[in-house]
Chains A and B, each alone.
Chain A
């Protein structure tokens, strides 16, 4: 396929900001608009940009992890977050939180559901990567369409 210089450069410039935005959405999600699902979608959109610019090989070069590892890891993380309270004698999905005053960040409150939300995030990203891996390489995109 022919690579577009503008697209290539734009993708490289925007990609990291988009990923950071997605992480922001993930972490801020509990109190402001956002959350694991949206965060995951934004990260997936960033990956998509890479795909549009450089095809499946560029997407593969992003991480050595296989898509299903990310997907399964997310699912495992979410399940663990749901089940760990059981081991501690609480109900399934019981949440707890810690508050701390950190330098630079100020007053921070982190709840345990963030772990669960991270699982959701990973599942979404993994799913999109899987879709690309599955249908993204069947035929090289034709230039001009």
Chain B
């Protein structure tokens, strides 16, 4: 399994690095890990069919108990099938959709990396590992949505998605940590097998739910998903139908069986899901852009999924698993159809599309089948899912009836927008003059295969789908009975309700006009973009306010605050628990006295000289004096470093001095001088006492003794300082040189920003413009029907 994820990483990196030379081959290279993933599923399906699992553990920092735990079980099998199966279709489609250029090869590479993150996400059995992959999908999807990075709208859409899912992810991290601490383990399977019951579990679940809601574009945080439609259509088809938005559903499905009864989980999940399903359906009904119609429909379906898998009940979970599969098939196929139309006709606006004539038969068939599956019509896999959903809530008492009513309303809307989509493609007004060129068979093939699977999955539901769903349900709910799926259950209440749904849906289609007027009035209240933009603006304003207060721009104030903090924090501990050790022996050799006099003298002189140059030289004297002290104390290593650093500092000081006046400002106000003296005295006394007290309170056995003793046998070195730096505390050093590198980049950026003074102003306005773009971009997307 680790190999599978690494393979995705390697293939993705190879495509990204070789984007220039690969051209169309990028898609062929990119598809290999997905095929490998399907092969993995096929090879191990038998082992996980009956609630079994394959576990793998790769420790990477044993000392911190950090490990990558992976677990492949029945639900993972379902998810892998969706992720990699749809992935293969997308890659095949992408090869036709994109021109063979370097930027589009880059998209292929990113898709592979994204796919790998999704694979990791559904295989992770450790909460933190899961979180890492979760954020990886956020980041890669940000890059993918912003593929067209020269367009402000594209960047704005990508940023919106990243901010919402990223913020939700952070909240979720908090929840995961609380959950892990309450349970005493971060292993997902262990937590689910023995759910913690502490008081904070409800809080943790609430936080995790925030992550789920943002990731799966549930109301009220859904607004990023329509915005993300600026991505190339293959990307949207993959990310926003089959994979990324399913991550939230995945986690909800995992947690629900164990935690559905804790706190407000079930009412919250059901309410959010139903609101999302209905509101998304309503908004889908008024879109003219076919892609946005699908996006809104996706939001609606995600709400449906959340209701089903969030209950944690066996029957609903079963229906949710079928719907997960069905939705991936039909929604990906429909997105691909939109891509084909956009590609050939140059528009996705249903009002501008004219008759698709000869050569469009396959596209029409795919549309008909997939839309019918979305609407839940018989013999297709979507029908099985909806029947299962109705069946699950029919016998659940009054609460079940309420949920069922919501589901029916949502399904009626789904029927109506499915019809709206299908009618556009199937029955566009004939206009031979502008009839678009028909797509090549290779271009249509991936969508056709998905449509065939939709039909096959329905007709042969008892053969393949049943097995997969059965494995998934058993993995999610231990001890669940075996799933039996079929198209015909005999006459039942659920079937009657399905009939009612279709009839109501047909009525909605027939009476579009009044409905559209109603929606035009309702629409502004169902939005969510305004809230997001307002929040963003507020954040910017707050940040500016805080900056004004905290960053006064006065160097003496900065230094004063830093120094006083450095003294105050240990000073508190000193006052509370320190004991005065008595005066130490101040000097051991006359040389020390001499050096101390030099250092103190130079330091004092630094503060009174008038010329900057003299001050730098005097500071250098202080530094060299310290180096000399180190030599006297027998620390050649420190001395060597001190001398080298001092030399370099002086040179760098000189470089900076060229840009400063030769003399310090003639005078500072008397009060400022006294303040500085006061701060300096406090710091001096504080550090002095601290040094005395801390060197007197030694542990019974000094740490350094052990380090010295272990240096040669464990670190293979006689220079203890170096062994500590590069071996015992090597990870610290790695962190330090990273900081050094960042500081270097900062120095260069600072120096350059001075050379281009106009840049500051530009940055601020740029940001504001980007936010404005988010506001106007969304408004333009969601056009009013009334117009």
Residues of A within 8 A of B (CB): 25, 29-38, 41-42, 44-45, 48, 51-52, 68, 71-72, 74-75, 78-79, 82, 86, 91-93, 95, 97, 109, 111, 113, 116-117, 119-120, 123-124, 126-128, 130-136, 138-139, 141-142, 145
Contact = CB atoms under 8 A, between A and B. Distances in A.
Nearest to A122: B737
Contacts of B726: 30, 35-36, 113, 116-117, 120
A134 B659 contact: no
B538 to A, nearest CB: 36
A68 B717 CA distance: 31
B716 A120 contact: no
Contacts of B613: 145
A114 B7 CA distance: 30
B626 to A, nearest CB: 15
A83 to B, nearest CB: 9
B740 A93 contact: no
A48 B731 contact: no
Contacts of B744: 68, 71, 126-127, 130-131
Contacts of A120: 725-726, 733, 737
B645 interface: yes
B751 A37 contact: no
Given A29-B722, A130-B744, 15 more contacts: A30-B722, A31-B717, A35-B719, A35-B721, A35-B722, A48-B651, A91-B59, A91-B61, A109-B716, A126-B741, A127-B743, A135-B655, A138-B659, A142-B658, A145-B657
A145 B571 CA distance: 43
Contacts of A51: 651
Given A91-B61, A135-B655, A41 B719 contact: no
B648 A45 contact: yes
Given A30-B716, A33-B719, A119-B737, A45 B644 contact: yes
16 contacts: A30-B716, A30-B719, A31-B719, A32-B719, A33-B637, A34-B722, A38-B637, A48-B647, A71-B744, A91-B59, A91-B60, A91-B61, A92-B731, A130-B745, A135-B747, A142-B658
B747 A141 contact: no
B730 interface: yes
B730 A82 contact: yes
Given A30-B716, A35-B719, A82-B731, A41 B644 contact: yes
Contact of B734 (A78, A95, A132, A138): A78
A75 B751 contact: no
Contacts of A48: 647-648, 651
Interface string B226-269: 00000000000000000000000000000000000000000000
A97 B61 contact: no
Given A30-B716, A45-B647, A79-B734, A35 B748 contact: no
Contact of A123 (B647, B655, B730, B740): B740
Most chain A CB within a 10 A radius of its CB, from B731, B737, B751: B737
Contact of A134 (B59, B718, B747): B747
Contacts of A71: 741, 744
B652 interface: yes
Most chain A CB within a 10 A radius of its CB, from B640, B654, B722, B754: B722
B715 interface: yes
A34 B721 CA distance: 9
A123 B737 contact: yes
Contacts of B722: 29-30, 34-35, 117
Most chain A CB within a 10 A radius of its CB, from B62, B645, B648, B718: B648
A78 B731 CA distance: 10
B543 interface: no
A42 B652 CA distance: 15
B636 interface: yes
Given A34-B637, A41-B648, A138-B751, A127 B730 contact: no
A135 B644 CA distance: 20
B755 interface: yes
A116 B718 CA distance: 17
A131 B741 CA distance: 11
Nearest to B62: A91
B198 interface: no
B57 interface: no
Interface in B12-26: none
Interface in B613-650: 613, 636-637, 640-641, 644-645, 647-648
B784 interface: no
A98 B229 CA distance: 57
Contact of A34 (B60, B651, B719, B747): B719
B132 to A, nearest CB: 16
A109 B326 CA distance: 63
Main secondary structure of the interface of B (DSSP, over half): helix
Nearest to A124: B740
Contacts of A133: 748
A88 B737 CA distance: 24
Contacts of B719: 29-35
A30 B718 CA distance: 6
A30 B737 contact: no
Nearest to A48: B651
Nearest to B662: A145
B756 to A, nearest CB: 12
B658 A141 contact: yes
B648 to A, nearest CB: 6
B63 A75 contact: no
Nearest to B652: A131
B437 interface: no
B734 A82 contact: yes
Nearest to B722: A35
B709 to A, nearest CB: 16
A79 to B, nearest CB: 7
A130 B747 contact: yes
Nearest to A128: B648
A48 B741 CA distance: 19
A139 B637 contact: no
B61 to A, nearest CB: 5
A104 to B, nearest CB: 22
B135 interface: no
B773 interface: no
A128 B718 CA distance: 29
B641 to A, nearest CB: 5
Nearest to B743: A127
A145 B747 contact: no
Contact of A135 (B648, B656, B730, B745): B656
A7 B783 CA distance: 73
B648 A95 contact: no
Contacts of A116: 726, 730, 733-734
Contacts of B656: 135
Contact of B716 (A37, A86, A97, A117): A97
A136 B657 CA distance: 11
A133 to B, nearest CB: 7
A86 B68 CA distance: 12
Interface string B666-681: 0000000000000000
Given A32-B719, A79-B734, A127 B644 contact: no
A103 to B, nearest CB: 23
B342 interface: no
A110 B730 CA distance: 17
B48 to A, nearest CB: 27
A38 B641 contact: yes
Contacts of B716: 30, 95, 97, 109, 111
A7 B715 CA distance: 42
A127 B740 contact: yes
A3 to B, nearest CB: 17
Contact of B659 (A38, A126, A139): A139
B737 A42 contact: no
B455 interface: no
B741 A31 contact: no
Interface in B703-734: 715-719, 721-723, 725-727, 730-731, 733-734
B563 to A, nearest CB: 25
